[in-house]
Amino acid sequence: MCFTRPCTLSFICSSSCSSLHSAQRASHTDKMLPALCTLFTALSCVSGVTVVTQKPPVLTLTKGEKTTMHCNLGTVTDRAAAWYKQVPGGAPQYVLMNYHGFSSPYYGSGFSSPKFTSTHSSQSDYTLIISNVEVGDSAVYYCGTWDTSVSEGVFGQGTKLIVTDSAVPPPVLTIFPPSSEELKSNKATLVCVVSDLSTGFADVRWLVGGNPVSSGVTTGSAEQQPNKKFRLSSYLSIERSEWDKDKDITCEVSAASKATSKKMKKSECTD
């Protein structure tokens, strides 16, 4: 169990970026070093001393607003705070690095002021500020630093930013009925494919005969499509006897302030 441990991201580094330790020193070489490192996307847990704390866990804003995320580096006071953006299914992107000794943050490729900036209120308390937010800013933002006690880059649990926009069209839903082969085993699985999501975050709900169900529901993680929008699939497994009752089975999806649904029942399907 990892609930009480800080999380770390492992780094594979080039010869000019042998460790995050060197990248976190308060010097003007900080600007380029993080970009030379390739991040593993998987988070792992280690029993380090430093615990990085982020708040709030979730932020929901409307397009055009300004948001502030907070990060406390725990016992670390002599290392920089680095911020990373990760969309579902994607690799972390280096946003910026700030240190109480810097005159201004150092930015990653594609990120700049005044849209992205950072402040500090102490040697261990930092913020990430995003102005004029857009739907494309929706992601999980991780704050991290270097923990000398375990020689690892230690990260917080992340802040999920969801940006809504009334002008964005709703996602496209497609429901697939159970296969004839599966029905022979007295089971029925329906698949709801949600595509063209404006963000990688969505709530999926199933209803049978107008009544919400949670048992037998499995929803996968979103993946980015070639058009930069997202797609995910949700599965509902029921007994064949329920399917044979010819009830309306509904897949409802809420994402970025948009809600849409699609229905299906046995009598509408052809063998």
The reported pTM is: 0.77
Find the mean pLDDT for residues 159-166: 93
Q: List, for residues 182-218, the tens digit of each pLDDT value.
A: 999 999 999 999 999 999 999 999 999 999 999 999 9
- pLDDT at position 3 is 26
CA 267/CA 99 separation, integer angstroms: 64
In angstroms, what is the C-alpha Rg of the chain? 22
Q: How many whole angstroms separate alpha carbon 15 and alpha carbon 151? A: 17
- For 221-260, what is each residue's pLDDT tens digit? 999 999 889 999 999 999 999 999 999 999 999 987 788 9
Say which residue, 117 or 49, is predicted with more confidence.
Answer: 117
pLDDT value, residue 150: 80
Bridge-based pairing state of the strands 58-62 and 159-164: parallel
Task: Give the E-state strand segments of 73-138 in sequence order.
Answer: 81-86, 93-98, 106-107, 116-120, 125-130
Q: Which amino acid is at 60?
A: T
Start-to-end Cα distance in the chain: 47
